[in-house]
């Protein structure tokens, strides 16, 4: 099982949104996927309640024991870990459990700076293990018709951490689906679907790199 942790200690950057939609994209690609809600706020579990557990298996593992607990999940090709904001201890646990760390970041300087601590934690772990986890940034919630997303990609790339070419734009569909317990794949927004397919494909390439 590959563990993909979607982390950023900054709140509201799109961790849960990406987790749910990447999990669904992988599931539609015929993989067995479990969504791990590692956030005590329980957003992924609320989302799961809203669809009465009919879409993606969701488990809540929001304690420091995550790296051990996640090993008890069996029969899945992928575990997508929706990370918590703020709590350093939980970020460390998620990094420890992960093969891949994806860091959604909104296109603003403050948001870029806010990821420094997380990158530091990822590097500490990489030094300890020799390589794991691999980490990449995903630019999230870009504004249409601006080039800010690409400028941000250039700044992020200076960190030496991979930056995905794919990302999400600001779209109503992403917020609508959450409260409805759906994903973009049950919505009518083809652009959002296409974004999520591109992100998931790029994730697949990154895993195999």
Ligand X SMILES: Nc1ncnc2c1ncn2[C@@H]1O[C@H](COP(=O)(O)OP(=O)(O)OP(=O)(O)O)[C@@H](O)[C@H]1O
Contact set for ligand X, span 109-138 (CB under 6 A): none
CA 209 – CA 200 distance, rounded (Å): 14
> Which is closer to ligand X, CB of 96 or CB of 182?
182
Q: Pick the piece of the chain touching ligand X (CB under 6 A) from 27-35, 70-78, 164-172, 197-205.
A: 164-172
Among candidates 151, 152, 191, 187, which has minimal Cα distance to 168? 191
Residue from 21, 43, 106, 183 in contact with Mg ion (CB under 5 A): 43
- Say whether 134 sits in a helix, a strand or coil: strand
Of 95, 178, 184, 203, the residue at the interface with ligand X (CB under 6 A) is: 178
**Min separation Cβ 125 and ligand X, Å:** 21
Task: Count CB neighbours of 7 within 10 A.
Answer: 27
Distance CA 41, CA 20 (A): 15
Radius of gyration of the chain (CA): 16
Stretch that binds ligand X, among 11-19, 63-71, 154-162, 197-205 (CB under 6 A): 11-19
Q: Look up tokens 């690609």; give the residue.
A: 29
Q: Which one, 22 or 209, has the nearer CB to ligand X?
A: 22
Site for Mg ion in 12-41 (CB under 5 A): 15-16
The two three-digit tokens of residue 194, written as one number: 């296409």
**Does 15 engage in binding with ligand X (CB under 6 A)?**
yes
Contact assessment for residue 122 and residue 135, using Cβ atoms and an 8 Å cutoff: yes
Give the binding site for ligand X (CB under 6 A): 11-17, 39, 41, 43, 85, 140-141, 168, 170-171, 174-175, 178
């Amino acid at each position: 099982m590959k563990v993909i942790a979607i982390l950023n200690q900054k709140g509201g950057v799109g961790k849960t949104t990406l987790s749910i939609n990447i999990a669904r994209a992988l599931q539609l690609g015929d993989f067995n996927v479990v969504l791990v809600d590692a956030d005590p706020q329980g957003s992924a579990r609320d989302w799961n309640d809203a669809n009465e557990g009919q879409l993606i298996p969701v488990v809540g593992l929001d304690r420091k024991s995550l790296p051990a607990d996640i090993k008890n999940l069996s029969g899945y090709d992928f575990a997508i870990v929706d990370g918590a904001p703020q709590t350093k201890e939980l970020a460390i646990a998620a990094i420890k459990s992960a093969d891949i760390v994806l860091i959604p970041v909104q296109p603003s300087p403050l948001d870029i700076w806010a990821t420094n601590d997380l990158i530091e934690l990822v590097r500490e772990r990489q030094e300890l293990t020799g390589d794991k986890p691999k980490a990449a940034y995903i630019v999230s919630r870009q504004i249409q018709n601006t080039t800010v997303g690409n400028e941000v990609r250039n700044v992020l790339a200076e960190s030496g951490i991979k930056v995905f070419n794919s990302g999400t734009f600001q779209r109503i569909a992403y917020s609508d689906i959450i409260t409805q317990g759906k994903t973009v794949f049950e919505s009518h927004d083809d652009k959002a679907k296409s974004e999520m397919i591109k992100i998931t494909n790029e994730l697949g390439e990154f895993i195999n790199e």
